[in-house]
Amino acid sequence: MSDRIQFHSRVGKDGVLQIRVPFRPADAGKDVVVTIAPADENSSDRLAWQRFLDATYGSCAGLGLERPEQGTFEEREAVE
């Protein structure tokens, strides 16, 4: 049995969520835990972004990159 299965479904007009989760015959008789949580509108975008960050974080650490001095900013007139 896989460690985690995630899928998205929609509650029907009758207020009932119907789900069918296929498992392998070898998993028959095993206990499972089902957690129901409302999904954010942007949850799939957020998950994709998190996977991207996880895959790329620290990828430039060994390149010896350094941030140069940023200098000073010019003084500007105040906006009224």
In a domain, 22, yes or no: yes
Q: The whole model's pTM is what?
A: 0.37
* CA 40 – CA 46 distance, rounded (Å): 9
In a domain, 9, yes or no: yes
- Number of domains within the chain: 1
Residues 6+ apart with CB under 8 A from 39: 8
In a domain, 73, yes or no: no
Per-residue confidence band for 36, with pLDDT thresholds at 50, 70 and 90: confident
The pLDDT value given to residue 49? 85
In a domain, 76, yes or no: no
Phi, psi of 47 (to 5 degrees): -65, -40
The pLDDT value given to residue 5? 74
Across the chain, what does the average pLDDT equal? 84
Hey, what are 12's tokens? 């029907």
In a domain, 68, yes or no: no
| Residue 17 in this model has a pLDDT that exceeds 80 | yes
In a domain, 70, yes or no: no
In a domain, 80, yes or no: no
- Domain residues for the domain of 44 are 1-59
Hey, what are 20's tokens? 């069918």
| Residue 41 in this model has a pLDDT that exceeds 70 | no
The pLDDT value given to residue 42? 64
